C-alpha cells in the first residue's frame, strides 16, 4: 500500500527529496531503501540500504548475500512503482500545470491502492 507521495518541481536526489518532504517516520519503523538512499541512517537509525562496491573495496560474499536478500525484499516495492508508472503522466515528461502534478500523483497512488484492495 502506498502511504505517502512526495513531489518536487524538477529533478532532485532521492535522499534530498525525502529530507525535504517532512515525512515523519516512527523511530522503530524499519526503512528499506535502494542505493539512492545511502546515508539515510544518519536521519533514521533503523534503515537498510544495499552495500556499495568500489574498485578499492570489493564486496565480501556475506555482503553480496545481504544485497540479494534486500533485493528480494524490495521486489514487491518495485512492483508497486511499476504499477504507478503504467500511467503515462508519471512515466513521461510532465507537460501540464506544475501545481497540479502533486494532486495527480496522489490520485494515481489512490487508484493503485484501490485496485490492490479489490484483489485481496
Tens digit of each residue's pLDDT (9 = 90 or more) over 1-17: 888 888 888 788 888 98
Find out whether 8 and 120 touch, Cβ atoms under 8 Å: no
Q: Residue 44 is placed in which grid cell?
A: 533514521
- How many Å is the Cα radius of gyration of the chain? 17
C-alpha dihedral, 44 to 22 to 1 to 118, nearest 10°: 170
The predicted structure's pLDDT at residue 41: 84
Per the domain annotation, does 64 fall within a domain?
yes
What CA–CA distance (Å, rounded) separates 52 from 90? Answer: 29
Average pLDDT over residues 43-57: 90
Total of domains in the chain: 1
| CA distances (Å), origin 92, targets 12, 100, 118 | 16, 16, 27
pLDDT, the chain, mean: 88
Average pLDDT over residues 74-99: 86
Per the domain annotation, does 39 fall within a domain?
yes
Q: Which residues span the domain enclosing 94?
A: 14-49+59-119
Amino acid at each position: 500500500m502506498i502511504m505517502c507521495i512526495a513531489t518536487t518541481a524538477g529533478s532532485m536526489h532521492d535522499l534530498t527529496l525525502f529530507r525535504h518532504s517532512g515525512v515523519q517516520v516512527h523511530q522503530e519503523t524499519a526503512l528499506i531503501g535502494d542505493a539512492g538512499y545511502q546515508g539515510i541512517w544518519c536521519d533514521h537509525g533503523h534503515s537498510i540500504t544495499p552495500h556499495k562496491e568500489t574498485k578499492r573495496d570489493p564486496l565480501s560474499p556475506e555482503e553480496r548475500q545481504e544485497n540479494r536478500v534486500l533485493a528480494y525484499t524490495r521486489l514487491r516495492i518495485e512492483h508497486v512503482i511499476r504499477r504507478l508508472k503504467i500511467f503515462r503522466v508519471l512515466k513521461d515528461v510532465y507537460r501540464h500545470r506544475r501545481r497540479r502534478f502533486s494532486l495527480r500523483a496522489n490520485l494515481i497512488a489512490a487508484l493503485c491502492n484501490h485496485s490492490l484492495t479489490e484483489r485481496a
